[in-house]
A and B are shown apart, each in its own frame.
Chain A
Amino acid sequence: MINQPVTQEEKLLTRSLEGEKRAFMYGNEVVVWAALAAGAEFLFGYPITPQNEVMHYWSRLAPRYGRGFLQTEDELSAGFAVLGGIMAGARCFSATAGPGTVLFQEPLSMAEMMRIPMVLVVQQRGGPSTATVIYSQQEVFLTIFGGNGEGLRVVYSPGSHQEMYDLTIKAFATAWEYRFPTLVLGDGYQAKMREPVTLYDPREKGIDLKPTFPMVGLKGVPGVDREPAHWRNAFSVEEELYEVLKPIIDDFHRAAPSLSEKEEGFLEGVELIVVAHGIVGRSVRSAVRELREKDIPVGFFRPITLRPFPDKDIKNVLTACSRLLVVESAQGQLAKLIRIAIGGELEHSLKMYTYFRPGLGITAEEVVQEARAILNGEREKDASVALL
């Protein structure tokens, strides 16, 4: 049963889990087990609430499974140490939130330019500024478009602990396959909440975690046995940059259709589509189920990837139904993504209702109430003119 590890990589992937394990744990702990199972070798992190327990659990579990940990002096150093470790050939990651996500933009932009497969877990807290340490969905734009550049990143938005586990593992697989920085966008509620989750070894599920590859420290004397590895991100002239950047953008767009993911439900005969992501998607799903039990024709759509956005899927759904309600714990960050995805033509034939609660949690009851109000014609003057 127990195979002797043959390589360091093999060793890292073997021992953390065997078979499936049912557990009841915090979201931050789920992240740690997922990273262990995905063969992450090193966590460089800096304390910020609500992601601290990622470091707490990792620093206890890491020695047991031969992994490394360093608490750095800030998020900039955490991010750049992650990049250094990855380029040296190790699967490294970090976790952060709020103002920390702001500082992480700098290493993320270097990862975009140099195709470094960096994984970052973000547990959103309130914003702007220090705001709250508790919860929001206000880091959507920051995680997608926060850097100086084109947002060449993959962003997963999990809606349960099981998805937190699945998508964190998938983030490592995606990052190493496509070589774009990949983020898991959780939130403080998910981070600090306990619920059941099934842990598993990704290889037993046939998940292809691509091997790591050193970009420096290669075999042989550079200049004698081989060419030296020279990596840069600064260019002398505009055309030089364009020549490098264009293929990266093309790669991203080529990969987008196979990366985008969504969940949808109750679409038969639907008269109002409710769209939400992450934990708010759970409230929406419950609300829609409840309304359907009363024969009220409401359906839901939940983007699982916020970048690339499942734009074809949402277009398909909205072609069949001309009313949508966007629900989010932010002032229209998801709604803006939807507007970009559906484009001008469809937008004019649609009525977009919104329920924005920046920094507040949203319950199923609120969604039920809002959907009923819309269907009763009580929200007509707000439709499509919501303050985005």
Chain B
Amino acid sequence: MSEQSMPLSWRTETKPHKFCPGCGHGLVLKALGMAVDRLKIAERVLFGCDIGCSLLSWDFFNLDTVQTHHGRTVPFIVGAKRARPHLVGIAYMGDGGGYAIGVQHLVNATMRNERILVIIVNNTTYAMTGGQMAPTSLLGQKTETTPGGREPDQEGFPLRGPEMIASFAPEGAYVARGSVSQVQRLSRYLERGLENQLRDRGISVIEALSTCPTNWRTNAVDTWKYLEKEMTDYYPLGELVSPWKKNKAEEEVVRL
């Protein structure tokens, strides 16, 4: 099976998946599925999903999966990983879970360099609850709770999560931002994030820029334009912290 079709680690019985048409979650989970396939680690993976749209991934994979509470996926996976270090822990959440209600967990797990992979899907909104402002909503973005558009005086500036994490990421951490507009690249980032955990080097925090046409109220063209232009301008793609960057030989092996 080529990487372009359904990843082996996907559960065919639960496809087509439950996300809205045009939602980016399916693409992030495809990128993750391909990374898990390439590393052949399905037996060791513990996939934890948050509450919000990410909760719909609870039966998405042929991977042992636990749906936790809103913002609590990081400490849940930390507990499992600490207790059973042979597991490969993945904490999957949205920007609300990662950067608002659960940000203390993200910050402290990074400080402790927990050997887990944290994936934060940034679609600039609280989608499951009906399109409220997220920490990541762009300036001027109209949401249900910023009907006049996000104002920096009132609601502050959008949070650049990976940059925040990178500012204090310890030795061995891996921090990157990918996008569902570049699935292969995102998948390589995720593979590196998993690889980093397999090598017991440190935490991996990967943000995936994603789409929400339902709440953005955009058509296909405008959805993609918002993702590739507005969002990517404010949230630049790339690896912010990478143990591979210090080692030329390894850089060759996993070429992006």
Contact = CB atoms under 8 A, between A and B. Distances in A.
Given A217-B46, A230-B59, A234-B51, A85 B80 contact: yes
16 contacts: A42-B83, A73-B75, A80-B72, A81-B76, A82-B79, A83-B76, A84-B75, A84-B77, A85-B82, A88-B84, A216-B80, A217-B46, A228-B65, A230-B64, A232-B59, A233-B69
A233 B67 contact: yes
Nearest to B49: A232
A210 B69 CA distance: 27
A222 B108 contact: no
Contacts of A74: 104
A43 to B, nearest CB: 11
A287 to B, nearest CB: 45
A264 interface: no
Given A83-B76, A228-B11, A90 B83 contact: yes
Contact of B108 (A72, A84, A217): A72
Contact of B78 (A84, A107, A219, A221): A84
A228 B62 contact: yes
Contacts of A347: none
Interface in A78-98: 78-90, 92
A234 B55 contact: yes
B205 to A, nearest CB: 16
B142 interface: no
A229 B68 contact: no
B118 to A, nearest CB: 14
A29 interface: no
Please provide the 8 A-B residue pairs with the shortest distance between their CB atoms, ordered closest to farther: A223-B62, A81-B79, A84-B79, A85-B83, A77-B75, A84-B80, A90-B83, A73-B108
B128 to A, nearest CB: 10
B192 to A, nearest CB: 23
Given A110-B69, A222-B64, A229-B65, A81 B82 contact: yes
Interface residues of A, number: 45
B215 interface: no
A258 to B, nearest CB: 30
A89 B84 contact: yes
Interface of B: 9, 11, 42-44, 46, 48, 51, 55, 58-59, 61-69, 71-72, 74-84, 86-87, 104-105, 107-108
Interface string A213-255: 0111111111110001111111000000000000000000000
B80 A88 contact: yes
B87 A231 contact: no
Contacts of A44: 79, 82
A55 to B, nearest CB: 15
Nearest to A85: B83
B43 A222 contact: yes
A52 to B, nearest CB: 19
B65 A221 contact: no
B58 A232 contact: yes
B175 to A, nearest CB: 19
A89 B83 contact: yes
Contacts of B67: 231-234
Given A216-B66, A223-B11, 18 more contacts: A42-B82, A70-B78, A73-B75, A76-B72, A80-B69, A81-B75, A81-B78, A86-B79, A87-B66, A90-B83, A216-B64, A217-B44, A217-B87, A218-B64, A221-B42, A221-B43, A221-B62, A222-B63
A214 B62 CA distance: 17
Given A42-B82, A232-B58, A234-B55, A84 B42 contact: no
B75 A228 contact: no
Contacts of B76: 80-81, 83-84
A163 interface: no
A383 to B, nearest CB: 45
A9 interface: no
B75 A231 contact: no
Contact of A231 (B61, B66, B105): B66
Contacts of B11: 223, 228
A85 B66 CA distance: 12
A44 B105 CA distance: 14
B87 A77 contact: no
A106 interface: yes
Contacts of B55: 232, 234
Contacts of A81: 75-76, 78-79, 82
A358 interface: no
A187 interface: no
A82 B80 CA distance: 8
Given A42-B83, A77-B108, A223 B72 contact: no
A82 B58 CA distance: 20
A88 B83 contact: yes
Nearest to B48: A84
A293 B116 CA distance: 64
A83 B83 CA distance: 11
A82 B76 CA distance: 7
A99 interface: no
Contacts of A92: 79, 83
Contacts of A231: 58, 65-67
Contacts of B42: 221-224
